[in-house]
Chain A
C-alpha cells in the first residue's frame, strides 16, 4: 500500500494570482525515506500543510495509507515536525509531550510509555522536566521531532529537521531517522541540504512553482545538487 498518495492537487491562497500547487501528484511507498526538494517558494510548505490537513479547499485528493487526509483517520497516521520549532517554550518537554499526546488521543498509560520512549530516542531524558525556554537549538529540534514521533505515526513528515543545529545534533537526528525507518516507518523529508537527502533517502521528488519537475530513485543520481540546479534553474529565488 502507498503510504502517501497525492493526486492532482491544485491550491491557491486567497487573493493570490498564482497557484501555490498546480496539478501536483506524487506518491511515497510504505517503508521508504523520500526526499522532497525545491527552491524557496516552490510550494513545499504549502504541500506539507495540505497533507497535514491544515489547508482545505483544494482540488484533488490526498490519501495516507488509504485514508483521506482531511479526516481524522488520515491524520492519526501522520507525525509532523514543522520547520519552525513548534513547541510551547513556557512548558517542559514532558508537559509538551503530555499536551500533544492527549491531542493525538493517547491513553494515559500509552502516553507515559511513549513519552519515555521518544525522550530516550531523542536524547532528552535528563532534560525532560526542564523548561523548554532553556533548551539549545539542537535540543529544540530534537523535541520538535519527539512530539512528531509520540503517537507512533506510520508516516513521518519532516520539514527541514536539521536547520540551525550543530553537527552533533544533526548526526543524532540522522541516526534516529535511520533507526525509525528500519522499524518500518515511512518518512517524507523536506530539505535544502543535498548531502542530507542523498545520505538518508532512497527516492526523491523535486518541485518548482507548485509542480513536480523530477521524481526518481536516489541510487541513479550521481550529483544531486547539479541535478537540482538543472531542474529548477540557477537564478535566485527571493520571492
Chain B
C-alpha cells in the first residue's frame, strides 16, 4: 500500500508540473537558450587570444625591391593575418574609427637598403596582446628577410624552447556553459517546488492529505522524488544539447573529458543539493510570491558568486575565494574536473562531499521549520 501511495503521490506531482505552462519553459528552454547564446558570447573570453582570431591588416608596399616584395609575401601568407584592401578615401584614422582594420603596415621605399623601417599603425583601442603579437610577428618576418633565413624559429630553437602545460584552467565556452547553466536551471527547480508546496498548503490539499492514513515522510518523499528526477533529466538534456546540437550550429567544440562516467555521481549529488535548496525555500517562504523571489534571487546570487555568470577563472582573487560560499561553485568545479582536468574520482569526491553537506543542512533546516509550522 505504501508503494502504491508513493507512486500516486509522484504521479500527481508530475501531472501538475507537466500541465504548468510556465514551469517547463523555465526549467528546460531557459537553460538551452542560455547555453546557446552565452557560449557564443563567451568565445571572446575563452578563445586563445592570438591564435584564435585573425588580425585584419591593411598592408601597403611602397617599394618594388626584392626584400620588400618578399616581406609583403610573407606577411600576407601568415595565418594570423587577414589582409584587407584600404577602402577608398580612408586614411588610418578613419580606418580605425570605422573598425575596418586592426592595424596598417607600410613597407617603405628604402626598406631594402635599411634606410627606412617598416611602419606599423595600430587601432588605438586594440588589445595590448594583439599589438604585441603583431609587432613580434612583423619584427620576426623582417629579420628573416633581412638575414636571408627561412624560419627564424629554427634559428633560435637552441636558445628558446616553449614548454606549455596542458590547459586545465580554461574551459571551452561550451564546457563552461553546459554545466554552468544546467546547474543554474537545476537550482531554479526551487521556484515551482516551493510554489507548489505553498499552493497546496494554502488551498488545504496538504492538510487534507494528512487526514488520510499516510505518513508525513511519505508525503515529503512524494514531493521530492519528481523534482529530483526532473533535475536529472534537465542535466541529461542539457548535456545532449551541448554535446550534439550546439556544436553543429555554432562550430564550438565540447569535450567530455577522460572519465565521463564521473558525470553520474556529480549529477546525482548536484541534483540532491538543488532539491535541498528547493525544500529550504519552500519551508522558509510564507507566500508563493515570497518563495519565487527567494528562489530566483538565491539562484542568481549563487550563480554570480559561483562562477556561472562570470567565469571563475577570470575573477579577481577576492571573488575567487568568495565563490566558495556558493554550492553552484562546487558543482561547477566538479563538472570542470571531469571535462577539463581529467581528475581522479577522489579529487572530485571532495567537492561532492561539500555538496552533500549543503543538501543535508537544507533538508534538516527545512524539516525543523516544517515541523514547527
In the complex, whether A78 has a CB less than 8 A from a CB of chain B is yes
Does the CB pair B203–A100 fall under 8 Å? no
Chain B positions 102-154 with a Cβ under 8 Å from a chain A Cβ: none
By beta carbon, the residue of chain A nearest B19 is A90
CA distance A95 to B16 in the complex (A): 11
13 of the cross-chain contacts (CB-CB < 8 Å) are A14-B372, A52-B211, A75-B212, A88-B12, A90-B16, A90-B19, A91-B16, A98-B8, A102-B4, A102-B5, A103-B8, A105-B5, A105-B212
Q: Mark A53-94, 1 if CB is under 8 A from B, else 0.
A: 110000000000000000010011010101111111111000
> Known contacts being A103-B5, A105-B1, is A82 close to B204, with CB within 8 Å?
yes
Collect the chain B residues with CB atoms within 8 Å of residue A103's CB: 5, 8, 209, 212-214
> Known contacts being A14-B372, A95-B15, A102-B8, is A84 close to B212, with CB within 8 Å?
no
Residue pairs across A and B with CB atoms within 8 Å: the count is 68
The residue from B8, B11, B19, B204 contacting A86, defined by CB atoms under 8 A apart? B204
The number of chain A residues touching the other chain, given as a range, is 20 to 34
B148: min CB distance to chain A, Å: 81
The residue from A87, A90, A104 contacting B212, defined by CB atoms under 8 A apart? A104
Collect the chain B residues with CB atoms within 8 Å of residue A14's CB: 372
CA distance A82 to B214 in the complex (A): 18
By beta carbon, the residue of chain B nearest A51 is B211
Collect the chain A residues with CB atoms within 8 Å of residue B208's CB: 80, 82, 86, 100, 147
In the complex, whether A171 has a CB less than 8 A from a CB of chain B is no
The 9 A-B pairs at the shortest CB distance, nearest first, are namely A72-B213, A86-B204, A102-B8, A52-B211, A103-B212, A86-B208, A84-B204, A90-B16, A80-B211
Does the CB pair B213–A75 fall under 8 Å? yes
Does the CB pair B203–A54 fall under 8 Å? no
In the complex, whether B20 has a CB less than 8 A from a CB of chain A is yes
Does the CB pair B8–A82 fall under 8 Å? no
In the complex, whether A99 has a CB less than 8 A from a CB of chain B is yes
Chain A residues proximal to chain B, CB less than 8 Å = 14, 49, 52-54, 72, 75-76, 78, 80, 82-91, 95, 98-100, 102-105, 131, 147
For B8, B19, B205, B210, the residue with the greatest tally of chain A CB atoms inside 10 Å of its CB is B205
Chain B residues proximal to chain A, CB less than 8 Å = 1, 4-5, 8, 11-12, 15-16, 19-20, 203-205, 207-214, 372
The residue from A52, A85, A88 contacting B16, defined by CB atoms under 8 A apart? A88
A48: min CB distance to chain B, Å: 9
By beta carbon, the residue of chain A nearest B196 is A90
> Known contacts being A88-B16, A102-B8, is A54 close to B210, with CB within 8 Å?
yes
Collect the chain B residues with CB atoms within 8 Å of residue A49's CB: 207
Does the CB pair B12–A99 fall under 8 Å? yes
Collect the chain A residues with CB atoms within 8 Å of residue B11's CB: 99
Collect the chain B residues with CB atoms within 8 Å of residue A75's CB: 211-213
Collect the chain B residues with CB atoms within 8 Å of residue A76's CB: 213
By beta carbon, the residue of chain A nearest B207 is A54
Collect the chain B residues with CB atoms within 8 Å of residue A98's CB: 8
Collect the chain B residues with CB atoms within 8 Å of residue A86's CB: 203-205, 207-208
By beta carbon, the residue of chain B nearest A78 is B211
Collect the chain B residues with CB atoms within 8 Å of residue A95's CB: 12, 15
By beta carbon, the residue of chain A nearest B373 is A14
A20: min CB distance to chain B, Å: 16
For A88, A89, A99, A103, the residue with the greatest tally of chain B CB atoms inside 10 Å of its CB is A103
A43: min CB distance to chain B, Å: 16
B84: min CB distance to chain A, Å: 60
CA distance A72 to B208 in the complex (A): 14
B202: min CB distance to chain A, Å: 8
For A78, A84, A90, the residue with the greatest tally of chain B CB atoms inside 10 Å of its CB is A90
B205: min CB distance to chain A, Å: 5
A25: min CB distance to chain B, Å: 22
By beta carbon, the residue of chain B nearest A95 is B15
Does the CB pair B207–A88 fall under 8 Å? no
Collect the chain A residues with CB atoms within 8 Å of residue B209's CB: 103
For B1, B12, B16, the residue with the greatest tally of chain A CB atoms inside 10 Å of its CB is B12
CA distance A82 to B211 in the complex (A): 10
By beta carbon, the residue of chain A nearest B20 is A90
CA distance A201 to B205 in the complex (A): 28
By beta carbon, the residue of chain B nearest A71 is B213
CA distance A72 to B212 in the complex (A): 7
By beta carbon, the residue of chain B nearest A104 is B212
For B4, B16, B208, B211, the residue with the greatest tally of chain A CB atoms inside 10 Å of its CB is B211
Does the CB pair B203–A85 fall under 8 Å? yes
By beta carbon, the residue of chain A nearest B213 is A72
> Known contacts being A76-B213, A105-B213, is A82 close to B16, with CB within 8 Å?
no
Known: A86-B204, A90-B15. 6 other contacts (CB 8 A): A52-B211, A85-B203, A88-B12, A102-B8, A103-B5, A105-B213
CA distance A90 to B20 in the complex (A): 8
CA distance A131 to B15 in the complex (A): 12
CA distance A211 to B200 in the complex (A): 30
Does the CB pair B19–A100 fall under 8 Å? no
Collect the chain A residues with CB atoms within 8 Å of residue B1's CB: 105
By beta carbon, the residue of chain A nearest B202 is A84
By beta carbon, the residue of chain A nearest B210 is A54
A111: min CB distance to chain B, Å: 10
By beta carbon, the residue of chain A nearest B211 is A52
A75: min CB distance to chain B, Å: 5
Collect the chain B residues with CB atoms within 8 Å of residue A54's CB: 207, 210-211
By beta carbon, the residue of chain A nearest B208 is A86
